[in-house]
Structure 1
């Protein structure tokens, strides 16, 4: 049942110009990271014939390194006291470096051996995943501190989701455009030049975010003592609300990471019998549908959250994901390949609602932490959230390569056996819903409701008012 809603106070509203700029900043990580996740297998395994297990390990190690440095970046940002702010300097430096690293990933020399191509990917992906958190962690923390209002946090991340998914509209067309005659039938070369242009755009979007957005807790943070990383790290693990929320989303991420890339293989080899040109069209259309659904999904997300609360909305999103993935039992049909648009809509809508809300929910948890400890540390909370799922994703990425090998998949082949195609579908359809059921259970018991969030806000405001009045009374 819908409940009584609070009204956002004028001083808690974020200007539209800043919401748009923050959304442009979200484009950077959404497009860059998702491009790497989607294109790596298509370039290095399908296009260049590098072993899937090699690429699985090569993808996992940089993500583990990324996870290791996330908390250090988060704590460093929380403790920064520069005159330009705690977050903005990181956004500028990180945005420039992401553009360089993203372009380098696809410039692998074609005349090298498979072993040297593998080594090139290890080095460039390690560089890429080193610079991503320099930008992504402070950018995520920035959004969590731009307002203290429960609903305005959701609105900000709805903008980020909407604008980020406009950028994501480009992703499914990279592989399609790379297969056009303009590039002479050389898919790998096509991807290289397209991604070079994307790198320039990503850097520009990062600068837009850095130069327009304003930090909401800067003056308060400057007055607080610097906190050692170990202490901050322990604080997040003692927060039961945070642990429950993060565990639910880590399970969701791992569920799909274990079968990452299987959908592309099923499309190419099961639905289209190895015809990459025909498959690329469906992949492009489905990718565009995914992005458009994600684009529009920001609106029902904001409406549902405001009317029914964030916990209910996340459970609704998980139900969509489970149902959408199970619908592939029917929708993987070589005679009607475009039926795959049905699970695409369900999965995209569920994912955008869930992953947009998790940031707003962590922002609420940061307020709860301030009430308990008196410290603002959005950076370390966002970093530890990323740390949890990156470690899990790294492990799942390695296991995915072995799982792919278990299906009998032959790298570089133009066709796959019937048994391989069956097991690709069995794992890709069945595994994610099974793990997502545990996420539903965890979110169902999530305790930080709207009423509690506004209670915390009132207590924090009363504390700040009392602290401001103390010097005057003493005088």
Structure 2
């Protein structure tokens, strides 16, 4: 049981141990968010010979499944908290199951054919997504229960994003490296799936201990109301949370559009490396350019948020990302290594785009607790995770639709093809102007976010 002061004392600082344990969870969330988004569509189109449109559909169906189950898991997590005093059970279950299904996702050989291969990948990835949601939904609920401090939440989530960005670098660079380490591409993908799945699962398992620390808090936020029984009532509970909390609607709308923007860039990175930079291995350097600056920038965004407020810092990061992404459009006419510079600027912004909204979500939850008397953090985070999933899923779908519309030629492992100029133009635009427009659009709902420091730290 933790000896830290209850979170209703807003000035209390979280212990380094709590911050480290919680941050380690992003080793799992970063890996799961990065590697499938980076290589799964490419694995389907360029290893199993699945058509680009079908590959995008597979990723989308798996993400739709997330949207269906996340609100249910959130409500069930609230019930588990009310019944046992901890959310740890679901988190541990997800951590143990994910490595198995993650490895199976990349274990399908090309010899099975594109149809059978696509079906097997879909089933394995659906199971992987379920395991991840069992961990992620209660994990995102914990900051609201760990502390009631406006600034401590920024600090907690800031360090989480440091680990998250390091995880993106680890999996973004290490995943393709593991793929190359195999004796052939088929073995390489299998090796990547096994090793990456184990690392993700270990990070998730360690972070599950944070749930026991949160269970020791005495804040009203941590004392969840009993979640409603029945599937219909559980979904209605999520919709009621959306309806009654204007700050939640504004923040979720912003984050959904930004997840779509970053998901589009993530899904297009491998294609940019292969067909614009003319090196499949260049995807490693794309991720170094993105994550290296983000590692350094995260503490800076924490400082900025303390001075000007989270919502203003969030808007600043969004504008910076928009400008950086839009500049990559010039690669249609002049491709080259200069792209890494634009990606690095986007990486500085990306650090803020990850840490600030996640630090604002606990504020929304505690504000709802104070004004409406409901302790349903899991319900909020179930809806939040579903929205994030929709954004990333549609990002991959947008890339797949662009590839299909511009005549991208799919292939199987070992076969060489030439892509039409229109397809390469589509790859560049899906990596630049499309995410820039989406990020710019996200500023509209952000303008309607009205919570400020004074609304959170009340006496």
| Equivalent residue number for residue 279 of structure 1 | 280
Q: 1:243 aligns with which of 233, 238, 249?
A: 249
Q: Deviations over 1:316-352 (max 9, x none)?
A: 11111111111213456767x3212112112222222
Q: Deviations over 1:217-274 (max 9, x none)?
A: 76547866413222353123221111011111111222344565333223312332xx
| Equivalent residue number for residue 192 of structure 2 | 194
In 1, the alpha carbon distance for the partners of 2:18 and 2:241 equals 31
In 1, the alpha carbon distance for the partners of 2:434 and 2:442 equals 13
Between the two proteins, the alignment pairs up a number of residues equal to 440
Structure 1: state its 5+ residue gaps: 1-7, 273-277, 459-475
**Residues 1:374 and 2:380 are matched in the alignment:** no
| Equivalent residue number for residue 305 of structure 1 | 305
2:94–2:131 CA contact under 8 A, matched in 1: yes
2:367–2:455 CA contact under 8 A, matched in 1: no
Which one is further off, 190-199 or 222-231? Answer: 222-231
In 1, the alpha carbon distance for the partners of 2:245 and 2:10 equals 31
1:22–1:160 CA contact under 8 A, matched in 2: yes
CA drift at 1:279 = 3.4
Which one is further off, 12-21 or 260-269? Answer: 260-269
| Equivalent residue number for residue 26 of structure 1 | 26
| Equivalent residue number for residue 122 of structure 1 | 122
1:333–1:339 CA contact under 8 A, matched in 2: no
Q: Deviations over 1:169-224 (max 9, x none)?
A: 222323542464x533x234213213312222222222221235511576547866
**Does the C-alpha gap of structure 1 residues 350 and 216 become closer, same or farther in structure 2, counting only changes over 3 Å?**
farther
**Does the C-alpha gap of structure 1 residues 139 and 330 become closer, same or farther in structure 2, counting only changes over 3 Å?**
same
| Equivalent residue number for residue 425 of structure 1 | 428
CA drift at 1:399 = 4.5
CA drift at 1:80 = 1.6
Structure 2: state its 5+ residue gaps: 1-7, 229-233
In 1, the alpha carbon distance for the partners of 2:222 and 2:383 equals 22
Q: What's the C-alpha RMSD, in Å, of the aligned pairs?
A: 2.4
In 2, the alpha carbon distance for the partners of 1:321 and 1:11 equals 33
CA drift at 1:356 = 1.4
In 1, the alpha carbon distance for the partners of 2:85 and 2:205 equals 15
In 1, the alpha carbon distance for the partners of 2:177 and 2:102 equals 18
CA drift at 1:423 = 3.1
In 2, the alpha carbon distance for the partners of 1:154 and 1:37 equals 27
| Equivalent residue number for residue 352 of structure 1 | 351
CA drift at 1:133 = 0.8
| Equivalent residue number for residue 439 of structure 2 | 436
CA drift at 1:40 = 0.4
**Does the C-alpha gap of structure 1 residues 150 and 124 become closer, same or farther in structure 2, counting only changes over 3 Å?**
same
**Does the C-alpha gap of structure 1 residues 188 and 289 become closer, same or farther in structure 2, counting only changes over 3 Å?**
farther
Aligned residue runs from structure 1 range 23-62, under 5 A: 23-62=23-62
Larger Rg: 1
| Equivalent residue number for residue 97 of structure 2 | 97
CA drift at 1:82 = 6.9
In 2, the alpha carbon distance for the partners of 1:25 and 1:142 equals 11
User: What SS class does the counterpart of residue 445 from structure 1 fall into?
Assistant: coil
**Does the C-alpha gap of structure 1 residues 189 and 372 become closer, same or farther in structure 2, counting only changes over 3 Å?**
same
| Equivalent residue number for residue 451 of structure 2 | 448
In 1, the alpha carbon distance for the partners of 2:237 and 2:192 equals 44
**Does the C-alpha gap of structure 1 residues 355 and 223 become closer, same or farther in structure 2, counting only changes over 3 Å?**
closer
In 2, the alpha carbon distance for the partners of 1:191 and 1:197 equals 10
In 2, the alpha carbon distance for the partners of 1:347 and 1:331 equals 16
Which one is further off, 79-88 or 436-445? Answer: 79-88
User: What SS class does the counterpart of residue 204 from structure 2 fall into?
Assistant: helix
Aligned residue runs from structure 1 range 190-269, under 5 A: 190-212=188-210, 214-215=213-214, 220=220, 225-228=225-228, 229=234, 230-258=236-264, 261-269=267-275
User: What SS class does the counterpart of residue 169 from structure 1 fall into?
Assistant: helix
**Does the C-alpha gap of structure 1 residues 10 and 256 become closer, same or farther in structure 2, counting only changes over 3 Å?**
closer
| Equivalent residue number for residue 341 of structure 2 | 342
1:269–1:415 CA contact under 8 A, matched in 2: no
In 1, the alpha carbon distance for the partners of 2:247 and 2:191 equals 45
In 2, the alpha carbon distance for the partners of 1:217 and 1:141 equals 15
CA drift at 1:428 = 3.3
In 2, the alpha carbon distance for the partners of 1:350 and 1:439 equals 14
**Residues 1:389 and 2:388 are matched in the alignment:** yes
1:178–1:189 CA contact under 8 A, matched in 2: no
Q: TM-score, normalised by structure 2?
A: 0.89
Which one is further off, 118-127 or 108-117? Answer: 108-117
Q: Deviations over 1:424-448 (max 9, x none)?
A: 3234322222222221132233210
In 2, the alpha carbon distance for the partners of 1:224 and 1:157 equals 22
1:166–1:295 CA contact under 8 A, matched in 2: yes
